[in-house]
Every structure is written in C-alpha cells, then in structure tokens.
C-alpha cells in the first residue's frame, strides 16, 4: 500500500515537474489589450472585417493594422468601447454598402450564352468566361448571396443581385467572391475618390464625360419622374449642374449609341432642365456627405477648380475655406462668357449651392500679400490647396517686377522670368527648370551666366535639343516632378520620379521655374519627411517645414483646361489628393487601366431592334428676345424634355435597351 502511494506520488511529482517545464518552454504570451478587445467583440466570427474571426481582428486592432471600428457587426458603441481600451479616440466612419454594377442579366444581354453547369459564379467564370462578349456581365448564379453573412442580398426577378441597404454592413464578403467584380463597396467617399477603369460597367457617354457623371442613371430617374433624385445623381460628380447645362461642349453626346440609328440623345439639355427645376422650385437639393472630420483645409482660388475642390472636400466631411483675390467668386469663367449664354444669376445660384454644402469663403485675400502658405499652416489649416487657375501667370509677371509677394515659394513661370530679364535673384542658388524644350536650354545658359551655382532641367519626354555650350547644366529625361519641399517662405528641395522605374530622387533647389502658362495644382501640408538637404537646425526650429505635392492628372495640367467641366474634375482630384494626404496615405494616382482616350474598352459599333426617334431641338431666342435679356437657348418644354429622356437606350458595357416587339 505504502509502495503504491509512493509510486503514484512520484509519478505525480514527475508529471508536475514536466508540466511546469512545458509551461515555460511553450508558454504563449497573450497581450491583455488583445484579450480585452476580444472580450467586447460580439464573437460572431463572421469575417466581415476581412480577417478570420474575432481573435484575429482583436490582434489587428491592437497592432494598429485595423480600426477600432473595423467590426461590421458592432456599432459606434462598440468602436468607442474598443477606443477606450486602446486609449484613443474614434473618428466617425462613413458606412459602406454593396453596390451591384451590371445593367442586364445574362438572358437579356445582347450577346450571351446560357450556362447550365454548376450553380456557382466562380466555376462558371473559370469554365468558359461568362458571357461570350461582355467580360463584366453578371452570371446571376448567386455566389454573392450565399457569401453574405447578413442576408442582405437576393437575386431579383431581373436576374441581378439586389441589396437590402438596411441589412448590409459593407463587410465586403460579396465583393470578394464575385469573379466579375460586379459587386463593389460604395459610399460618398468612395464615389468621390473613384477613377473609372476598364473593369467597370460604364456607358459610352459616361466614359466620355470629363467628370464621369452616371448619365444613364439620372436620365432613368427623369423617366420615372424623380427629378429630385436625378439632380442628386448629377451632383455626385458635378457641383455646377445649372452652369454646365448651358456651356458644356457635350463630349458625352458624341459617343451616344443612338447615333448609329438617328441622333444622339440631348444629354446636356436634359441636365439643364432638371437643374433649372431645382432652381425654380426654390429648394436646394444637397448631395450626400460623409461624417464630419473637423479638419480645416485652405483652398487658394475661387474659380471653378477651387470651388469644386472645396465642394468635394466638404462632402468628404472636411471644413474647406476658399480664399479669393477678387471681390467675387467665379474666376475667369464669371467674366469670360456672354451673359446671354450664361447669366450671372445662374452662376451665382450654383456657387451658393456649393457654399451651402459647408464651404466658407474669404474674399479680397491675396496669396503672398495678405497671407502665405506657411501662415495658413500655422493657423491650423491641415492642408493648403493652390488652385489659382488661368489668371496666375499674368499676375506673377507683375509680382516679379515689384517683388511684393510670391504665390508658391521660390516658384515662377519661366516665361515671366525671361520677360523680366533674369533678375539677380539667381546668384549663388540651385535652379531647377521644368520642361520647356529649347527655351529651357537657353534659359539655363542665361541663369548660369547670371551666377547660379547649379542649373538642372527636367523633361518628361526626350525632346530633340541643341546641347552645344551646355557645360555645367544637368539635363534629366523621362522624369516628372512629384513634390517640392521647403521651410517658411523658402524652397529647398525638389523630388522627381523616373517615369519608367518609379524611383524617386530629391535634389537641392532654391528657385523653381515652370515652362507653362500656369502653375500646376499643388497641395501643401506640414512635412512628414525626414529628407533634409539644405535646411539648418535653426531654420527647422523657427519655421514650418512644408511639402507641396502635385495633384495627379488626366491630361496636361501645366496648361489651361479646355472646358469648365474639366476644371471641375481637376477640383475633384485635388480634393481626393488632400483627403489621402490628411490620413497619411500616399497621394492618389490614376489606375493603370483608367478610362482614358488611349485605353481600349469593350464597346459596340452597331445596335439592332431600336426604332428611330427624332432628337428634340432646343428652341432659340429671337434677336428681339435677346435684346430684352433672354438667354440664347430657351430650354426644353416639359413635353420635349420627357420625349427626349425616353430616347435613352439605358446602355451597359455592350448591352442596351431594345424596343419591345
């Protein structure tokens, strides 16, 4: 008996020692914060956060790789509870919602085949690629419905997915399983930031529209009699609907598929009608906005681009203030178009609408005379966007003569430097000239003769140049300016990128000359970079270190925009760039497969089974009516307006509405 007890006791001792050793060898430390965060999570393990379960989400939140509000199954209270555990605050987050992006189901698509295999979209796509022609078309087999953990999706009677917005949490499960990218997450922010690509099911008219308005949708709302919704759709991408409805060059209409049967739909005149409907009704139709961020942004310039930038920033939840040199908003466009084409009260109506979205305005404020970029950063503005437009080149010419003020620190237009006779501001300085062909070469030689320490010319292309007598001048090809860096009112460095490799290089620069008729749009903020080449420790301590990031472009932004509607899109892109920079993200760029002039996109060059219908003609004022102050174009009657809206074919990528037999 005693022997048995000793044996059992000995075994217990050995096991205990072994367990103690094992606990030391295999001990896994669990962060108390991770445990605390996981304890408040709902434990649904739905995967809506994009991670495999609540434990993984808790670890990501504590590690800073996921937001305290990343749990889609929880609400604001849960996010705040997690924030308390982490000792941080939570900024209001705009909810996402799934958005199906296809026009017709597989049976009604123009060119299709009927798939009778496994009832799974991924299998169908892998087996034979879906529709014969349309690479985007929805297969309609419901993989997205099966993937949704919140029962927020069904396949409707039209064979396309339909979303219950009240149940949808924006978890993205449907987006991840769709092999055709038909379903994507959307929100006000996403729609403002969006650059359309060849993966989207866009219509020909929308692809040609410089601002990317969902033309098909606003015309559909018109046919339904929902003018309020039609205006909202237009204002998603265009804050000047009443103005553009009168002066747009209408590139959308050149691509309208009705041209293959009769004449394009009068798209712009339809826009004008519903915009005038809003004005005449007297009640402002405001677009949707993201939650407020309380982040102050300064916009320099109250023209079309600057006002558009402020409009989109306000809709992104920020607090933009426009600083305009003159005593009224509108810029060049306000005074460049005859009143019979664009009455002043029409322009003022759209401007007031922009202000009502949450934009502040300060008039008679000149950059360089009344304030500087540095002073606005010191006042608490988190970013300063320069959108001075087509006036700035001629203003700069006068400013150099008197040297009263500067717009962008140490930055000038090359044409004004040449006309001003190369003043001695170039002595003992590093000069960078951006573009300019042979003129840049001649200017560089003159700068060297005037005593510049170094001169660098940066070209985006490789022009044919006479390089004789260019000793001491550095010439770089295939590069583009990414940002400028400085302290206080002085420029100190420039960063350029290689167009092929993307490699970025920072060089010293005291004076920056741009060979163009205008300044490109730059966004300035306090510098986060540690790249310092020419700054002293005293300067760093006494003055703000800033960086100016160039706004990404769809065309040559070193020249004036060919139409006001393109300036609107420039303002939107500036707002998108500001938004990214505010949150420490890299400045947005155009996706490689963006919808541009030189990008191939599926389309059709003929249509069938559509009955010809004559285009409704906009009536014009007589000379006597013009003399009495009438507009050149009178606008559609309600009958012509409805008849014209019904001519729209409601196109998709390759599909369109056929007339019923």
Whether 38 is covered by a domain: the verdict is yes
Q: Which residues on neighbouring strands pair with residue 432, listed in sequence order? A: 456, 512
Average pLDDT of every residue of the chain: 85
Instruction: Spell out the alpha helix ranges (H) of 87-140.
Output: 121-128
Q: Summarize the confidence of residues 544-571 as an average pLDDT.
A: 84
Higher pLDDT, 26 or 435: 435
Task: Write a three-state SS string for 340-352.
Answer: CCCCHHHHHHHHH
Weakest mean pLDDT among 17-31, 59-73, 299-313, 355-369: 17-31
Do 324 and 272 reside in the same domain of the chain? no
In the predicted structure, residue 466 carries a pLDDT above the cut 90 = no
pTM (two decimals): 0.86
In what order do the strands lie in the sheet containing 430-434?
411-413, 511-514, 430-434, 454-458, 473-476
CATH number of the domain that residue 649 is part of: 1.10.1060
Domain final residue pick, 164, 186, 208: 186
Cβ-in-10-Å burial (0-12, 13-18, 19+) of 421 comes to exposed
- Say whether both 169 and 242 belong to one domain: no
Average pLDDT over residues 506-518: 90
Domain end point (choices 186, 216, 250): 186
At 134 the three-state DSSP class reads: coil
Last residue of a domain, one of 120, 155, 186: 186
Q: Do 198 and 262 lie in a common domain? A: yes
- Using CA atoms, how far apart are residues 477 and 498, in angstroms rounded to an integer? 9
Enter the tokens of residue 514.
């741009």
pLDDT category of residue 391 using cuts at 50, 70 and 90: low
The confidence band for 393, taking pLDDT boundaries of 50, 70 and 90, is very low
Sheet containing 383-386: order of strands: 360-362, 319-323, 296-300, 383-386, 522-526, 545-550, 479-487, 490-498, 504-508
Both 38 and 72 in one domain: the answer is: yes
Position 180 in a domain: yes
- Token pair 């669990």 is found at 30
Most confident of 50-59, 165-174, 272-281: 272-281
In a domain, 20, yes or no: no
Q: What is the CATH number of the domain that holds 38?
A: 1.10.15.40
Alpha helices in 102-183 (DSSP H): 121-128, 143-147, 173-177
Judge if 281 and 295 occupy the same domain.
no
pLDDT value of position 403: 42
β-pairing verdict for 545-550 and 473-476: unpaired
257 and 180 within one domain:
no
* b/e per residue 311-350 (b: at least 16 CB within 10 A): bbbbbbbbbbbbbbbbebbbbebbeebeeeebbeebbbbb
Give the total residue count for the chain: 661
Residue 509 lies in a domain: no
Tell me which residue of 562, 430, 442, 541 sits closest to 492, measured CA to CA. 430
Residue 601 main-chain phi, psi, to 5 deg:
-135, 140
Quote the number of domains for the chain. Answer: 4
Assess whether 593 and 633 both reside in one domain. no
In a domain, 543, yes or no: no
Can you give the pLDDT at residue 465? 81
Q: Please report the pLDDT score of residue 301 as a whole number.
A: 93
Cα(81)–Cα(41) distance, integer angstroms: 10
Q: What is the pLDDT of residue 558?
A: 63
Same domain, 224 and 279: yes
Q: Check residue 8 and give its pLDDT.
A: 64
Same domain, 348 and 297: yes
Q: Is residue 410 part of a domain?
A: no
pLDDT, mean of residues 532-542: 49
**pLDDT, tens digit, for every residue of 185-196?**
999 999 999 999
Q: Are residues 197 and 258 in the same domain?
A: yes
pLDDT of residue 335: 80
Q: What residues contact residue 220 under an 8 Å CB cut-off, 6+ apart?
A: 648, 650
Is the predicted pLDDT of residue 495 greater than 80, yes or no? yes
Cβ atoms of residues 545 and 445 within 8 Å: no
Please check whether residue 63 lies inside any domain of the structure: yes
In CATH, what number is assigned to the domain containing residue 126?
3.30.70.20
CA-to-CA dists, residue 533 to 310, 392, 506, 537, 547, angstroms = 34, 30, 8, 11, 13
CA distance 33 to 58: 9
- Mean pLDDT of the region 550-575: 83
Quick check: is 5 in a domain? no
69/160 same-domain check: no
More reliable by pLDDT, 115 or 395:
115
Looking at residue 329, what is its pLDDT? Answer: 95
Whether residues 309 and 275 share a domain: the answer is no
| Residue 461: closest CA among 500, 506, 415 | 500
Question: Does 570 have pLDDT greater than 60?
Answer: yes
Segments forming the whole domain that contains residue 173: 95-186
Token duo for residue 595:
């919808």
């Amino acid at each position: 008996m005693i022997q048995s007890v000793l044996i059992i006791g000995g075994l217990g001792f050995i096991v205990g020692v072994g367990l103690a050793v094992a606990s030391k060898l295999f001990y896994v430390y669990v962060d108390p914060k991770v445990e605390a965060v996981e304890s408040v999570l709902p434990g649904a393990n739905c995967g809506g956060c994009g991670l495999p379960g609540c434990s993984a989400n808790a670890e990501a939140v504590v590690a800073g790789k996921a937001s305290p509000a990343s749990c889609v199954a929880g609400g604001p209270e849960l996010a705040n509870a997690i924030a308390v555990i982490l000792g941080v605050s939570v900024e209001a987050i705009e909810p996402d919602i799934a958005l199906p992006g296809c026009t017709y189901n597989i049976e009604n698509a123009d060119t299709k085949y009927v798939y009778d295999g496994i009832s799974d979209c991924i299998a169908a796509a892998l087996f034979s690629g879906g529709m014969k022609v349309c690479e985007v078309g929805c297969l309609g087999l419901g993989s997205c419905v099966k993937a949704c953990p919140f029962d927020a999706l069904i396949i409707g009677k039209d064979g396309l997915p339909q979303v219950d917005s009240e149940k949808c949490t924006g978890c993205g499960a449907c987006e991840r399983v769709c092999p055709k990218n038909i379903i994507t997450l959307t929100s006000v922010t996403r729609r403002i930031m969006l650059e359309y690509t060849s993966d989207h099911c866009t219509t020909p008219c929308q692809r040609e529209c410089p601002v990317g308005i969902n033309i098909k949708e606003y015309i559909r709302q018109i046919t339904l009699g929902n003018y309020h919704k039609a205006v909202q759709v237009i204002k998603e991408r265009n804050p000047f609907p009443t103005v553009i409805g009168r002066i747009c060059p209408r590139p959308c209409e050149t691509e309208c598929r009705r041209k293959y049967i009769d004449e394009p739909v009068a798209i712009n005149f339809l826009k004008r009608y519903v915009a005038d409907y809003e004005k005449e009704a007297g009640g402002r139709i405001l677009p949707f906005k993201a939650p407020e961020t309380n982040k102050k942004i300064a916009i320099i310039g109250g023209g079309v681009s600057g006002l558009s930038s402020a409009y989109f920033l306000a809709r992104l939840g920020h607090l933009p203030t426009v600083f305009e040199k003159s005593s009224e908003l509108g810029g060049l466009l306000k005074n460049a178009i005859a009143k019979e084409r664009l009455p002043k009260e029409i322009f003022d109506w759209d401007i007031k609408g922009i202000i009502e979205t949450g934009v502040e305005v300060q008039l008679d404020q000149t950059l360089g005379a009344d304030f500087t970029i540095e002073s606005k950063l010191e006042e608490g503005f988190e970013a300063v966007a320069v959108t001075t437009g087509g006036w700035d080149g001629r203003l700069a010419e006068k400013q150099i003569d008197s040297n009263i003020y500067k717009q962008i620190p140490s930055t000038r237009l090359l044409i004004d430097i040449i006309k001003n006779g190369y003043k001695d501001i170039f002595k003992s300085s590093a000069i960078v000239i951006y573009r300019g062909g042979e003129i840049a070469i001649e200017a560089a030689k003159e700068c060297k003769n005037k005593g510049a320490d170094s001169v660098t010319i940066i070209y985006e292309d490789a022009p044919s140049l006479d390089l004789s007598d260019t000793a001491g001048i550095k010439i770089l090809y295939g590069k583009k300016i990414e940002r400028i860096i400085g302290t206080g009112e002085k420029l100190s460095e420039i960063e350029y990128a290689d167009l092929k490799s993307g490699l970025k290089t920072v060089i010293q620069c005291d004076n920056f000359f741009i060979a163009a008729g205008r300044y490109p749009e730059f966004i300035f903020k306090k510098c986060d970079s540690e790249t310092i080449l020419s700054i002293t420790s005293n300067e760093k301590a006494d003055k703000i270190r800033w960086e100016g990031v160039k706004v990404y472009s769809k065309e040559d932004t070193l020249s004036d925009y060919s139409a006001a509607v393109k300036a609107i899109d420039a303002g939107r892109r500036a707002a998108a760039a500001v938004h990214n920079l505010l949150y420490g993200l890299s400045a947005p760029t155009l996706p490689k497969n963006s919808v541009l002039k030189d990008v191939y996109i599926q389309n059709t060059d003929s249509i069938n089974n559509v009955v010809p219908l004559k285009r409704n003609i906009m009536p014009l004022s007589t000379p006597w009516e013009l003399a009495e102050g009438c507009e050149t174009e009178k606008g559609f009657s309600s009958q012509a307006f409805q008849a014209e809206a019904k001519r729209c074919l409601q196109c998709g990528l390759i599909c369109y509405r056929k007339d019923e037999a």
